[in-house]
Amino acid sequence: MTTKKPQSLLREASHQIIAGGSAGLVEICLMHPLDVVKTRFQIQRGNSDPNSYKNLTDCFRTIFRNEGISGFYKGILPPIVAETPKRAVKFFTFEQYKKALSLTPLSAGVALSVAGLGAGLTEAVVVNPFEVVKVSLQANRDAFKEQPSSFAQARRIINADGFGLRGLNKGLTSTLGRHGVFNMIYFGFYFNVKDAIPTSPDPTLEFMRKFAIGLVSGTISSCVNIPFDVAKSRIQGPQPVPGEIKYRTCFQTMALVYREEGYLALYKGLVPKIMRLGPGGAVMLLVYEYVSGWLQKNW
């Protein structure tokens, strides 16, 4: 009895690490160009910004013309490197929080959302240093060959500001808000709605059912959490005046953006974010479920 339980837990964790890492890798490779575009919109400070993009098409065209196709993959190494531990933390902790919350008087629907919130907050702590490096690289408008590598950029940030909340972990509060809110809705909506809609015996229809629910889940989550995402990009991206820190904390940044640029500025980058995390969220959950199912049957 004592040997089976650790093996069972180890196997469960291994399944979630492999399935979660696979889901993250596929989602990042497919959707990263939209993340670059989203970040560029979020860090521009209105029409007075000399680097302002007119619209989504102009942004794609300008990046391609000035930076080449590789410009759309700036900052991709940090999220790829982070995906295995990030998704492992995301899915494994979600399952563990869900198990723990099943012992409480919370309803199943609420427990799923709270488990998602906990998983998102835990994930944020792991991923934030990678986000700092990623955003600083995405904000770089030089040609791809001229910009520093991910490791050189990380070293530059550490040498200048250290590992703390002004260096490799700046914007942590915004990242906690972004991931906590997203995963609370993402997991809560997906699993509650999926259980409420009958499954289909046709594999193609069943795939489409899950994809549609994942698409709606990722879209709603993206719409709700984007003010935290804008604040995170402003804090982690280049400050308007070199040497002066204008965007310091999550809610201070939100208030400042709202006061200077209006309410809609808190939703900058929403279209590319939805284009990425709507289908991307569906792809990630489907890859996770199918890889996890295969591993359970074959390993």
**Rounded distance between C-alpha atoms, residue 133 and residue 80, angstroms:** 12
Q: Is residue 298 included in any domain, yes or no?
A: no
* 8 within a domain of the structure (yes/no): no
Q: pLDDT tens digit string along 172-227?
A: 999 999 999 999 999 999 999 998 999 999 999 999 999 999 999 999 999 999 99
Helix 77-101 to helix 150-161 angle (10° resolution) is 70
Residue keyed to tokens 């795939």: 207
Residue that has been written with the tokens 């990042």 in this structure:
28
State residue 83's pLDDT score. 66
What is the average pLDDT value for the chain, to the nearest integer?
88
Q: How confident is the model at residue 144 (pLDDT cuts 50, 70, 90)?
A: low
Q: How far is CA 153 from CA 51, 72, 78, 141, 168, in A?
A: 22, 18, 11, 14, 10
Q: Is residue 9 part of a domain?
A: no
In a domain, 245, yes or no: yes
Which amino acid, residue 228? F
Residue 225: both structure tokens together = 């959490």
State residue 1's pLDDT score.
40
The residue length of the chain stands at 299
Q: Radius of gyration of the chain from Cα atoms?
A: 20
Residue 213 lies in a domain: yes
CA separation for the pair 88, 93 (Å, rounded): 8
Model confidence at 4, in pLDDT bands (50, 70, 90)? very low
Helix (H, G, I), strand (E, B) or coil at 297: helix
Range of the domain at 251: 15-293
**DSSP per residue, 9-73:** HHHHHHHHHHHHHHHHHHHHHHHHHHHHHHHHHHH--STTSTT--SSHHHHHHHHHHHH-GGGGG
Q: What is the DSSP letter of 249?
A: S
Residue 251's contacts (CB-CB under 8 Å, 6 or more residues apart) are 231
pTM recorded for the entire structure:
0.80
The tens digit of pLDDT for each residue in 22-77 reads 888 888 888 889 889 988 888 887 666 777 888 889 999 999 999 999 889 988 88
Q: Are 1 and 97 in contact (CB under 8 A)?
A: no
* 96: in domain: yes
Q: How far apart are CA 83 and CA 65, in angstroms?
A: 30
In a domain, 1, yes or no: no
Q: 101 near 111, Cβ under 8 Å?
A: yes
Q: Is residue 46 a part of any domain in this protein?
A: yes
Number of domains observed in the structure of the chain:
1
State the CATH number of the domain containing residue 87: 1.50.40.10
70-109, pLDDT tens digit by residue?
A: 889 988 887 787 666 777 788 888 888 998 999 999 999 9
Cα angle 19, 25, 26 (rounded to 5 degrees) comes to: 90
Those residues whose C-beta lies under 8 Å from the C-beta of residue 23, and which sit 6 or more positions away, are 87, 283, 284, 285, 287, 288, 291
> Rounded distance, CA 274 to CA 35, Å?
10
SS3 content of the chain, % helix, strand, coil (to 5): 80, 0, 20
Q: Among 40, 32, 28, which residue's Cα sits nearest to residue 269?
A: 40
CA distance 215 to 210: 8
